[in-house]
Structure 1
């Protein structure tokens, strides 16, 4: 596996390792307080939500793909997708930016937007004053 953001924090939590630079020592010590190791896996701690499993970049790509397109896919926007991943109890520090970048590159979204633009269809969504679907099926 290639080195990623998890490795220095996990090494510090497992062995107490610290980098040589004093500023990096302080940054790592402060960052490490937000994480826990449970059975060899790193989790982000929080007071409000349960522990979130920390993901490496390849794992994060798989979670993004499965959340958007897989069995639990809903074709969400970037912000909603990042919140969904949090509700699924996963964490990556660049979650919001990664979700937005992933959404921009999803083929079906690009094709749909391109189709609408080519046919002069305006994309806008709004609420009805009643709050129900036409026909009262809800």
Structure 2
């Protein structure tokens, strides 16, 4: 680990919602390790020590977040608190949602909607879910065949 990286270990419990349990799916994220290059770190520092000088961007971004039981959560528009995840955690959540026990290999938009419904958030959710579903080998192998011509199409002139 580089010398300039700072680590904090945060204990995280199980996240399970009734709608998830009826499907039989439960996502377990045991420990969150926050390093200095994590996107949550400036927001957490600002929320813990608001009197220190911070960039304007961080102060504006922190308006949408709060600390809840030692976790960073986002206040969504529909008044739901979504737990913010780091990179290792959200890769695990995407894998479980896409190809886990109840994963149905959904496309990126549906996968993003499901993850938000389970109560998780990170800033690049839509892009990451889309890239993950496009990179799934099983989806590519068993998905619909793309009917693209192998050569450029030529105009047909009507006589």
| TM-score above 0.5, yes or no | yes
> 1:49 Cα deviation (Å)?
4.1
**1: CA distance between counterparts of 2:64 and 2:114?**
21
How big is each residue's C-alpha offset from its partner over 1:39-58, in whole Å with a ceiling of 9 and x where there is no partner? 11000012414100001011
The residue number in structure 2 matching 1:5 is 39
- Structure 1 segments of 4+ aligned residues over 3 angstroms from their partners: none
**Match status 1:18 vs 2:53:** yes
TM-score (norm 2): 0.65
Point out the structure with the larger strand share.
2
Aligned positions, number = 112
RMSD: 1.7
Pairing partner for 2:125 from 73, 78, 95: 95
How far apart, CA to CA, are the structure 2 residues paired with 1:104 and 1:45?
29
Asked if residue 75 in structure 1 is aligned to residue 109 in structure 2, the reply is: no
Q: Which has the higher helix share?
A: 1
What is the alpha-carbon distance in structure 2 between the residues aligned to residue 105 and residue 18 of structure 1? 41
Change (3 A) 1:82 1:9: same
Gaps of 5+ in 1: 20-24, 121-138
Rounded to whole Å, the distance in 2 between the matches of 1:109 and 1:60 is 20
Evaluate the alpha carbon distance shift between residue 98 and residue 48 of structure 1 in structure 2; reply closer, same or farther with a 3 A threshold: same
Matching residue of 2:31: none
